[in-house]
Amino acid sequence: MPVDVIQSVKLDDEKNALILLDQTLLPNEKVFLELTKVEGIWDAIYELKVRGAPAIGIAAAYGVYLGTKMSKAENYDQLYEDFKKVKDYFATSRPTAVNLFWALDRMEARFKKEAGKTAVEVKQALKEEADLIRAEDEKVCEAIGRYALSLLKPGMGLLTHCNAGTIATAKYGTALAPIYLGQQQGYNFKVYADETRPLLQGARLTAWELQEAGVDVTLICDNMASIVMKEGKIQAVLVGCDRVAANGDAANKIGTSGVAILAKHYNIPFYVCAPLSTVDLNCNTGADIHIELRPGEEITKKWYEKPMAPEGVKTYNPAFDVTDNELITAIITENGIAYPPYTESLPKMFKKE
Ligand code: MRU
């Protein structure tokens, strides 16, 4: 299946439904959920049926539109009260990816821009804004792909962690975008995908979507990243991101920082691909980023019929970790490539808009 065909988040406005590719069932089943209730959309975000920072933002934008559309409020102020409730509700779904809050704030800004309009007009404006967020993400990912590709050479071996691919965004992905663009141009990358415990986004999602697109992909367990680097199979690491702090510290899927430490050891460039919607200049450092803690059952019970660990064992399951900025060779945005010191280069990326 070419990358263009997979659409993990879309709106069916006539049915008042958000259509989500259920990412928890991949690669075994390709099921599209038709969600009409805000509670169902909230659950889908929490349970990672829709996941990946940009896709979470797009889903929440459509969710807040659909929730507001259901409101019976007849005037602007009453509608705003209902909008605010739905917005605040979605803000509780997942804490780390700043794209969720960015998208919700953007929807609120659009609501406020429509002050004085009728409820029908405001609802239409919210749909337009959610559509824009989606359409812009596609362009943003393509631009990230072009900048990232400029750092790579044909035939390179690339390592990626988690899934920052087309299904995590509107299209192309962030870290996988240069791989797709490179493939169109005959770069013949050899991609290594970390399986990404505990939820296996690398095995279930990255390996699946790259294989579907005909990319040369090899799946490895997380603890094999070091050996493939040592054996000279990897010339660059590309990862996505959930939140970049002002100093360049970057939160991404648990295990990313370990990969960055290995890359430093083996002198391999480590690139973080991040749309500006993922850059949070209000967070000074990674220490300010809220790391999501998830249920221990994801570690002990998830993938086998029988428990994978002794009953009652204590668990610790942070879903993300923070890669220190000094381990990051560059942060690739839609407006260009930011190099250290990030406190200087990241604000310049926003000024280019
Ligand atoms: O918990 P997830 O699967 O939502 O985590 C996703 C990641 O860590 C991705 O790398 C990140 O969101 C970037 S997606 C373009």
Instruction: Please provide the DSSP assignment of 148-196 as one string.
Output: HHTT--TT-EEEE-S--SGGGSSSS-STTHHHHHHHHTT---EEEEE--
Residues 171 and 129 occupy one common structural domain:
no
Q: Identify the domain boundary among 121, 141, 161.
A: 141
Residues 249 and 318 occupy one common structural domain:
yes
ipTM attached to this prediction: 0.99
Residues 166 and 245 occupy one common structural domain:
yes
CA of 93 relative to ligand 1 center, distance in Å: 14
| Mean of the per-residue pLDDT values of the chain | 96
**Are the C-beta atoms of 239 and 259 separated by less than 8 Å?**
yes
Residues 302 and 165 occupy one common structural domain:
yes
Q: Sheet containing 279-280: give its strands across.
A: 279-280, 243-245, 250-253, 320-323
Predicted pLDDT at 1: 45
CATH number reported for the structural domain that contains residue 90 in this entry: 1.20.120.420
Residues 94 and 219 occupy one common structural domain:
no
Q: State how far the Cα of 135 lies from the Cα of 8, in Å rounded to an integer.
A: 13
Residues 299 and 236 occupy one common structural domain:
yes
Q: Identify the domain boundary among 76, 110, 141.
A: 141
Q: How confident is the model at residue 8 (pLDDT cuts 50, 70, 90)?
A: very high
Residues 73 and 220 occupy one common structural domain:
no
242 part of the active site:
yes
Decide whether any atom of ligand 1 lies within 6 Å of the 52 Cβ: yes
Return all residues near 73 (Cβ < 8 A) that are at least 6 apart: 79, 81, 82, 119
Task: Give a yes or no: residue 3 inside a domain.
Answer: no
Q: Ligand 1: which of 6, 141, 163 to mutate, judged by most atoms within 8 Å of the beta carbon?
A: 163
Return all residues near 109 (Cβ < 8 A) that are at least 6 apart: none
Average pLDDT score over residue span 57-68: 98
Q: State how far the Cα of 220 lies from the Cα of 194, in Å rounded to an integer.
A: 5
What is the domain range of residue 322? 150-351
Q: Model confidence over 196-226: pLDDT tens digits?
A: 999 999 999 999 999 999 999 999 999 999 9
In this prediction the pTM is 0.97
CA of 188 relative to ligand 1 center, distance in Å: 25
CATH number reported for the structural domain that contains residue 190 in this entry: 3.40.50.10470
Domain count, the chain: 2
Q: State how far the Cα of 9 lies from the Cα of 290, in Å rounded to an integer.
A: 25
CA of 51 relative to ligand 1 center, distance in Å: 6
Residues 131 and 237 occupy one common structural domain:
no
**Are the C-beta atoms of 289 and 283 separated by less than 8 Å?**
yes
Residues 84 and 180 occupy one common structural domain:
no
Average pLDDT score over residue span 104-123: 97
Residues 122 and 164 occupy one common structural domain:
no
Task: Give a yes or no: residue 189 inside a domain.
Answer: yes
User: Which ligand 1 atom is nearest residue 23's CA?
Assistant: 3
CA angle 135, 139, 142 (to 5 degrees): 140
Q: How confident is the model at residue 6 (pLDDT cuts 50, 70, 90)?
A: confident
Residues 106 and 232 occupy one common structural domain:
no
The bridge status of strand 32-35 relative to strand 157-160 is unpaired
Residues 129 and 183 occupy one common structural domain:
no
Helix, coil or strand: residue 103: helix
Task: Give a yes or no: residue 4 inside a domain.
Answer: no
Predicted pLDDT at 334: 98
User: Which ligand 1 atom is nearest residue 275's CA?
Assistant: 15
Q: Identify the domain boundary among 107, 141, 175.
A: 141
Task: Give a yes or no: residue 155 inside a domain.
Answer: yes
**Are the C-beta atoms of 144 and 273 separated by less than 8 Å?**
yes
Task: Give a yes or no: residue 2 inside a domain.
Answer: no
